[in-house]
Amino acid sequence: MKPVFLVDDSATMLASMASLLGQAGQTVEKAASAEEALAKLKATPPLRAIITDYHMPGMTGAALVREVRKLAPYRFLPILLLTTESDQAKRDEARAAGATGWLVKPVEGEKLLAVLRQVAPA
């Protein structure tokens, strides 16, 4: 199964999401910022999806989506925003950037897995 790329500046989020997905048999790659994610994407094997935070030091999650969409291998890769942000304007910005979905924390584990299965069948 292709790995899911987790991008979040919260160590807790990276660890808990990695464990949650790992419990479901899903492998993960991790980055603590959008910049680190972009650097790692070049050396990362084909991905199942990207799950990224919106608010991070430096580049936002929406900006990351824009940059990822410029990379040919990831033009149609499912990218989910998992964020505390509830502002509609930022949600619209992510949609315009090419994000696949928007999830407001906290999201129940089973719902997160269900969304992942829906947008990126294994």
d(CA 111, CA 29): 21
d(CA 2, CA 25): 11
Q: How far is the CB of 71 from other proteins (least distance, A)?
A: 19
Q: How far is the CB of 43 from other proteins (least distance, A)?
A: 26
Binding track, positions 25-54, relative to other proteins; x by CB under 8 A: ------------------------------
Q: Measured between alpha carbons, how far is residue 70 from residues 1, 38, 43, 80, 108 in Å?
A: 24, 11, 16, 17, 31
DSSP-derived 3-state class of residue 114 = helix
Q: Is residue 59 a contact point for other proteins (CB under 8 A)? A: no
Residues that bind other proteins in the complex, under the rule CB under 8 A: 8, 10-13, 15-17, 19-20, 22-23, 55, 83-88, 91, 95, 99-112, 115, 118-119
